[in-house]
Amino acid sequence: MTTIDIMLPYYGDVALMQTAVRSVIAQSDPDWRLTVVDDGEEPGVPEWFAALDDPRVSYQRNEQNLGATGNYKKCLGLVEAEYMVMMGTDDVMLPGYVAEIRRIVKEHPGVGVIQPGVQIIDGAGQVVNTIADQAKARIYLPRFTGTRLMGGEELAASLLRGCWFYFPSLCWRSAAIKGASFRDDLDIIQDLALVIDLIEAGETMALSDQVVFQYRRHAASYSAAEAMAGKRFAEARRYFVGASAQMNALGWPKAAKAARRYTSSRLHAVTLLPSALKARSVPGVKNLTRHAFLPAPRPGQTSARVEQKR
């Protein structure tokens, strides 16, 4: 029986998607199954998959566009293996990804989430090291060598202080992620909310320093576009208010404090303000400024009430 289901909810650039698929096929460990769920209508894509003629690769096209969260949920419903990956359509698995995941599962049976080592690439596939990614690695990512297992308030506080994981690279225990699923009220910060919910449910995360995945960061990505428009931060502010209350209810004061401050998210908004000003994006400037500089809500106080006091 296959250990890992690799799900690829696809929409967008055909060439990048094909690169992602080829990277899965090139895995050194053959214990995987790839399912591509096409939420678009680009011509020639079904024919390309048919020509692959690989029984481990399956492809289907949605009859109507489901949107990002809808397609994630559909992919989740198709998972059968013990562990699964929700891979990004423009990301790349290095040849040792599946082998490293299987090693960690053997070392930590039942682990809920696995974060392997990640390399950042740009739109052209060149390795880069952005300011945001340097901050993740040097400031927020816990210090460790080899493999480290984390959970509980320690993990929640660390992620709410600065979300250092890369969602498309994560491998999930299928039963765990199906139990939590994706929130209907979130789009951009869906990944952090899901992990925090799993931590609340008692799941652990294994971190590995073996670089086996390439995360593509480029201006054309959905998250980058929404960040510039400010939508990402409007949603993030709303989420962190709720997360603070969620952590307080668990009796996790350090995690609640980290959620109230959401320092790294504020700093990210500050770094985008010059670009929003240059683009003359009034909604972007407004949302970025609000997220970066408004006082952090106190427990039980909504962000709307904070804004009304200004």
| Phi and psi torsions of 28, nearest 5° | -70, -30
Predicted pLDDT of residue 230: 58
Look over the chain and give the mean of its residue pLDDT values, rounded to a whole number: 88
Query: Is the confidence at residue 224, as pLDDT, over 70?
Result: no
Tell me how many degrees the CA angle 76-77-79 measures, rounded to the nearest 5: 70
Q: How confident is the model at residue 10 (pLDDT cuts 50, 70, 90)?
A: very high
Q: How confident is the model at residue 3 (pLDDT cuts 50, 70, 90)?
A: confident
Query: Is the confidence at residue 233, as pLDDT, over 80?
Result: no
Grouping H, G, I as helix, E, B as strand and the rest as coil, residue 139 is: helix
How far out from the chain centre does Cα 211 lie? 17
Strands (DSSP E) contained in 186-307 are 204-216
pLDDT, average across residues 78-95: 97
Predicted pLDDT of residue 195: 97
Q: Residue holding tokens 């789009």?
A: 187
Residue 299 or 282, more confident: 282
Predicted pLDDT of residue 25: 98
Best CA proximity match to 97, nearest among 165, 36, 26:
26
Q: How confident is the model at residue 135 (pLDDT cuts 50, 70, 90)?
A: confident
Predicted pLDDT of residue 108: 97
Query: Is the confidence at residue 308, as pLDDT, over 60?
Result: no
153-200 confidence digits (pLDDT tens): 999 999 999 999 999 999 999 999 999 877 878 877 889 999 999 999
Tell me how many degrees the CA angle 151-157-159 measures, rounded to the nearest 5: 85
pLDDT, average across residues 209-236: 72
